Structure 1
Amino acid sequence: MLHKILILDDNQDILTVLEEALTGEGYEVVTLNYCEDIIKSVQQHQPDLVMLDFLLAGINGGELCHQVKTNPLTSGIPVVILSAYPRVLESLGDYGSDAFVQKPFDLDKLFSTVKHCLDEKEHLQLH
């Protein structure tokens, strides 16, 4: 089964790199550089996993993660937060995210994090 990943980042270069890398690994990728309503976007695209940049224009990705994880319609979807500032996450909590990947990211770590989150989601659905 082809897993779909929704990525939200306001840096187009990062979106391009992530899309190419994850598509190359066999994932279907949807990228957004702006999002007015994360729940609506998640419902529209039906991803198996969401990746959010932590620092976005107007809102932080942690807040969006919290919205996804506390909404009953989307709470089962794994969320990975991406950030060049890991200390921000340490000081503010993880917002309920399933994983954190530091920028600049190591692609092998990124791939293993995505695979782990998707495997975990499937395992939970089976039980």
Structure 2
Amino acid sequence: MSILIIDDNKDICELLLNILLSESLQATSCSNPLDAKKIIKKVKPQLIITDMLMSGVDGRTLAKDLKNNPETKKIKIMLMSAHPDAFSESEKVGVDAFLAKPFEIDQLIEKVKNLLE
């Protein structure tokens, strides 16, 4: 099961990557949202975990584009954010899950495993 983490904060990418790898999950990360679509084509992830607010590419726009593309619409997407309106925003773009920042590691793992089932 391949997971792609997209966040313009390298530390968040590293943290999430280490958490997922410690759970024996196959994961990779992308800290430049402008490279995301190229990496998605290469990696063909089953799940994308992306931040909502990023420089270069907004996570909502990325999610909408992926869900509207026949080649990528089946990829599960989890949007994460600390923004107070983020949950309702995530519902509008049709993501599969939402994770509020800050989050507990157990919350992340549970959501990821549910999405990969």
Q: Which TM-score applies when normalising by structure 2?
A: 0.91
Counterpart position of 1:44: 42
Counterpart position of 1:83: 81
Deviation at 1:105, TM superposition (A): 1.3
Aligned-residue identity in percent: 34
The letter for the 2-side match of 1:104 is P
Counterpart position of 2:56: 58
The letter for the 2-side match of 1:31 is S
Larger Rg: 1
Unaligned runs of 5+ in 2: none
Question: Residue 33 of structure 2 contacts residue 54 of structure 2 at CA under 8 Å; is this kept in 1?
Answer: no
Counterpart position of 2:30: 32
Q: Which TM-score applies when normalising by structure 1?
A: 0.84
Unaligned runs of 5+ in 1: 120-127
**Cα distance between partner residues in 1 of 2:53 and 2:82:** 9
1:48 to 1:32, Cα distance in 2 relative to 1, 3 A: same
Runs of 4+ aligned residues of structure 1 deviating over 4 Å after TM superposition are none
Counterpart position of 1:99: 97
